[in-house]
Structure 1
Amino acid sequence: MLQLMHEYELSVSGVCFRYKKSSSFQLQDINLHIGTGVHGLLGPNGAGKTTLMRILAGIKRPTSGQLALGEISSEDANFRSSWQRKVGYLPQDAHWFGSFTVSDFLEYFARLRRVPRTAIVAKIDDLLAKFDLLECRNGKLSDLSGGQLQRAMICQALVHDPDFLILDEPTATLDPLQRIQLKSLIKELGKSRIVLFSTHLIEDIVECADSVIVLARGETLWDGGPCALQDIGRAVSGEDAVSATQLAEAGFVELLSRT
């Protein structure tokens, strides 16, 4: 069974990033402190969202700054391997060999993430049941619907029961019903671990997130709750009768206008 609760806090302190051949920073002085729950990451294209997520997933190394998750710190000698065992990551537009069956795909990632061999079958069974994929166990990835494939990709990020789950644009390619189902799953996952997801759909933030982080030009522009973002929108629009999503959109636009 999946672990019930992960009592960790993610700490990001002064993280900066720039490519070796670039004279300017893509991320500059990012500071975050988030715990169990669902945290939405908003920002225009080029704001640095995917770069930040890849750093948090342990794929990119920051140019400077520190990361910590529980007792694991970026100052540790074996940081990268320890960190990646605690983190699950769904990249945007993830692509894998379509000839993999769902079961083989999950077993591959379980072994890669050092799940004990005696626990792999039970882990896979639990995830397939939780994500309504039992009937797809022996189906090829190339034969899955968009919603099934996205759920399978989230399963690979969860197969080692991580404390911190990172989802880059998880609802972007889904139809409305699939988005509703996935948002429900994201909220459920946030009850037992840290979940950070990026999106361009503010509706997803309003419906899923406990907190919102807004990036712009590689910097943290704002950090607060969805209701606080709606309050900013209400203050500038003067509208009380519009939807929560419209108020949050107005708040987001107002924040960007201040940069």
Structure 2
Amino acid sequence: MTIEITEVTRRFGRTEAVAGVDLRAGPGVLGLLGPNGAGKTSLLRMMATVIEPTSGRLRLLGRDPGVHGERRELRRRLGYLPQSLGYYPGFTVVEFVEYFALLKEMPAARVPRAVAVAVERVGLGEKAKAKLRTLSGGMLRRVGIAQAIVNDPELLLLDEPTAGLDPEQRVAFRALLRDIGTRATVVVSTHLVEDVGAACGAVALMDRGKVVFHGTPDELAAQGDDRGVGDAPLERGYTAVLAQVRS
């Protein structure tokens, strides 16, 4: 099992952003779905080893991120795209992705080829030498995805990855996710139900810091009222589960 999360909490002062989450996931694409403020980003940041849990237990790729040596190894084997990725405007696309490859301690001989492949996979081959300050928001998001996949990670964590992408780019991105999910574990945090339906084999729905549903997209859709009008079945299931746990 790639991800083993047991009774994990995370507090920020008096605010409990993650409230006793249990979650297991193996290879494939898991959609971490929920409204804004549900705790998705905090949970993803703990999986990315950016912050530590207040309590509970995390094991990722069979390693304990609370142990320094194991945390360092994990960082070499995972990829992470945060909601807001800082960047140096004067870097080119290639320089930026190369920078992250080196941070992940990739062997120097592998870096040029790995960078070129990652840039091509997100459709930015023609912009490889462009300065980041010249790129649109959607292109910058794709550069962020490229840095996350440059090391061919075993665990890929993406926070709102389709923000800023146009519809055609979102379709291409979903295909990329499905491809990566055939050999790695991918967790995609999003509030967009359609992204989950199109790319994910499993979904964990969060609300108020808790996982309130974990199953397949079809199982989530089945939670909805078939007599509902206007929304897709998955959207109805999402709405029905939230309404039930909040009642």
Q: Same fold (TM over 0.5)?
A: yes
Cα distance between partner residues in 1 of 2:189 and 2:134: 27
Cα distance between partner residues in 2 of 1:83 and 1:62: 16
Aligned residue among 11, 15, 18 for 1:27: 18
- State the shift of 1:17 in Å: 0.7
Aligned residue among 223, 228, 238 for 2:227: 238
Contact 1:38 1:210 in 2 (8 A): yes
AA aligned to 1:88 is: G
Contact 2:41 2:159 in 1 (8 A): yes
Alignment of structure 1 residues 58-77 onto 2, 5 Å: 58-74=49-65, 76-77=67-68
Contact 2:49 2:65 in 1 (8 A): no
Number of equivalences: 245
Cα distance between partner residues in 2 of 1:86 and 1:114: 10
Cα distance between partner residues in 1 of 2:150 and 2:195: 24
AA aligned to 1:114 is: E
- Secondary structure at the aligned position of 2:87 is classed as coil
Alignment pair present for 1:179 and 2:170 = yes
Question: Which residue pairs with 2:94 in the alignment?
Answer: 103
Cα distance between partner residues in 2 of 1:89 and 1:98: 20
Provide closer, same or farther for how the CA distance between residues 147 and 26 of structure 1 changes in structure 2, counting only shifts above 3 A: closer
Deviations 1:67-116 (A, max 9, x none): 11233124545232122222211111323122110111111111111111
Question: Which residue pairs with 1:258 in the alignment?
Answer: 244
Cα distance between partner residues in 2 of 1:206 and 1:162: 23
Aligned residue among 127, 130, 139 for 1:139: 130
Alignment of structure 1 residues 128-207 onto 2, 5 Å: 128-207=119-198
Provide closer, same or farther for how the CA distance between residues 201 and 77 of structure 1 changes in structure 2, counting only shifts above 3 A: closer
TM-score when normalising by structure 2: 0.92
Unaligned runs of 5+ in 1: 1-7
Aligned residue among 114, 118, 136 for 2:109: 118
Cα distance between partner residues in 2 of 1:232 and 1:40: 17
Deviations 1:110-135 (A, max 9, x none): 11111111111121122223333222
Contact 2:76 2:106 in 1 (8 A): no
Cα distance between partner residues in 2 of 1:194 and 1:13: 18
Contact 2:178 2:199 in 1 (8 A): yes
Aligned residue among 230, 235, 247 for 2:233: 247
Contact 1:172 1:199 in 2 (8 A): no
Aligned residue among 184, 205, 229 for 1:214: 205
AA aligned to 2:234 is: A
Question: Which residue pairs with 2:11 in the alignment?
Answer: 18
AA aligned to 1:63 is: T
Q: Percent identity?
A: 37
Unaligned runs of 5+ in 2: none
Bigger shift: 99-108 or 148-157?
148-157
RMSD over aligned CA atoms reads 1.8
AA aligned to 1:17 is: R
